[in-house]
Amino acid sequence: MSDNTVLLVDDEEGVLNSIERLFAKTGMNIIKATNGEDALEFVRKENISVVVSDNLMPGMKGLELLSKVRVISPDVVRILMTAHSDFSTAVDAINNCEVFRFITKPWDNRELINIIEEGINRYKLIMSLKKADESTLLSLAQTIELKDKYTRGHCDRVAAYALRIAERLNLSEDTKKDIRYGCWLHDCGKIGVPEHILNKKGRLNEEEFEVIKKHPVWGADVAKQAQLSQTIINIILNHHEKYDGAGYPAGLKGTDIPIEARIVAVADCFDAITSERPYGETQSFAKGMEIILSLKNSAFDSEIVDIFISSMNRDYDSPDIKGKSYEYNNR
């Protein structure tokens, strides 16, 4: 079954036809409806991945349609088209329909295509997460790594480091399995981040960093939708939180950050600084350890740092970090 069927809903046929033409060569399957009732029929009968609906239509409004779609088929990705000035509709859509994105009319063709393609990707991601067997999750992690070319092998190494820590904390087998899956998926929200930002050399500007900062929430939303375990969701959502509260997305502090996420944060950072990235130079093993140690109590939980360091090499002498401070801006 194809996962690329898009349902377009607008009372103006001209709008439907021009969007359909835009997707003529993309291989997407486009279905059109001119009112909410017809659209709901399609949602019940067809295998729809994404619904794009206008809001102002006679009869059922777009908002009402999307909230019904959410009940009938909650995995369908919902996109609302609104007029530029219609701010209150946008707020309603967020609160009541969990809309994935908005498109403002008149739309920009390139942007419209990107948003719908992201919607399709999100739908596919939810579908494969729902299967949640080991080989699906691993191949999914590799898909993310393909998009972000510097992270090849990253997810697997992060899992290996995190499990060394989990082992020493005597966590249960189930938790360890979830930590492994959470590590594979920790950056799955990057599917929603444009490649030119992911692979940008050097520093990101503020606007670009704001986009990057959304990946934990996007990823966790998808994992929730796929009903993955709370441990996995915690890792995806909180892997960029810092112990001192300076992280993102929520700025959680200390033990408010779930332990599985505190573990993965250390593992993720160590692998990021010791492997090749578009930003920042590659550090040696010893330097990587030194940087992790220097971030004890600021970015990281000191107990977990100690366990990590001792898990990495029994003969390794902790370096003297007095007076040294490092900046760490892992994406």
Provide the binding-site residues for Fe ion, judged by CB under 5 A.
187, 268
Nearest-approach distance from CB 84 to Fe ion, in angstroms: 33
Would you say 260 or 268 has its CB closer to Fe ion?
268
Would you say 178 or 187 has its CB closer to Fe ion?
187
Would you say 69 or 222 has its CB closer to Fe ion?
222
**Separation CA 300–CA 319 (nearest Å):** 17
Burial of 162 from C-beta contacts in 10 A (0-12 / 13-18 / 19+): buried
CA 63 remoteness from chain centre: 25
Q: Are 59 and 35 in contact (CB under 8 A)?
A: yes
Would you say 273 or 307 has its CB closer to Fe ion?
273
| Residue nearest Fe ion, Cβ-based | 268
Q: Are 188 and 236 in contact (CB under 8 A)?
A: yes
Distances (CA, A) of 187 to 140, 270, 316: 11, 15, 30
CA proximity to 45, closest of 80, 11, 77, 76: 76
Would you say 36 or 182 has its CB closer to Fe ion?
182
Would you say 194 or 319 has its CB closer to Fe ion?
194
DSSP assignment of 226-256 equals TT--HHHHHHHHHTT--TTS--SSS---GGG
Nearest-approach distance from CB 164 to Fe ion, in angstroms: 17
Q: Which residues contact 135 (CB under 8 A, 6 or more apart)?
A: none
Nearest-approach distance from CB 220 to Fe ion, in angstroms: 11
Nearest-approach distance from CB 293 to Fe ion, in angstroms: 20
Nearest-approach distance from CB 319 to Fe ion, in angstroms: 24
Nearest-approach distance from CB 251 to Fe ion, in angstroms: 16
Nearest-approach distance from CB 252 to Fe ion, in angstroms: 15
Would you say 10 or 268 has its CB closer to Fe ion?
268
Is the sign of the CA dihedral 12, 28, 67, 84 positive or negative? negative
* Percentage helix, strand, coil for the chain under 3-state DSSP, each rounded to 5: 55, 10, 35
